[in-house]
């Protein structure tokens, strides 16, 4: 799937494997579906603006006519569920290393950045900055 997005003055073309990302989040136990959907979209937007996760949250909130906190809390709920159902530990198998913190889990930003980095490293997510014509 290819998406064209704009952040501040820059535009980007992001191509990503939607099906793979969906399966990945399922395997990591992110539920309910609404949280998974937010995580998916935030991961895609975060890849274009890795310096500030808030931009990605604001973009998704704006698209759905919600406030910023609703998106943040929904993702947090999804992550909490993943911790409770024990599937978030699968991240160690995914990354082939000891990454999961059994004491603290992950913060929203850590999880999103981790998934984003993994997808980019394995060629499932590509970001192409576009020249601004304005």
Nearer to another protein, 86 or 123 (CB): 123
Q: Print the binding letters for residues 62-101 with another protein: x by CB under 8 A, - otherwise.
A: ---------------------------------xxxxx--
Q: Is 61 in the site for another protein (CB under 8 A)?
A: no
Q: Is 42 in the site for another protein (CB under 8 A)?
A: no
Q: What does the DSSP assignment read for 53-114?
A: HHHHHHHHHHHHT--HHHHHHHHHHHHHHHHHTTGGGGHHHHHTS----TTT---HHHHHHH
**Of 14, 66, 70, 118, which one interacts with another protein (CB under 8 A)?**
118
């Amino acid at each position: 799937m290819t998406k064209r997005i704009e952040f501040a003055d820059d535009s980007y073309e992001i191509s990503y494997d939607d099906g793979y990302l969906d399966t990945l989040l399922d395997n990591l136990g992110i539920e309910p579906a609404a949280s998974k959907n937010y995580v998916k979209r935030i991961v895609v937007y975060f890849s274009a603006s890795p310096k500030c996760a808030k931009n990605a949250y604001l973009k998704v909130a704006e698209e759905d006519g919600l406030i910023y906190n609703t998106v943040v809390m929904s993702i947090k709920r999804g992550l909490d569920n993943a911790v409770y159902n024990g599937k978030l530990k699968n991240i160690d198998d995914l990354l082939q290393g000891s990454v999961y913190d059994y004491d603290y889990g992950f913060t929203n930003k850590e999880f999103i950045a981790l998934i984003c980095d993994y997808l980019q490293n394995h060629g499932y997510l590509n970001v192409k900055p576009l020249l601004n014509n304005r």
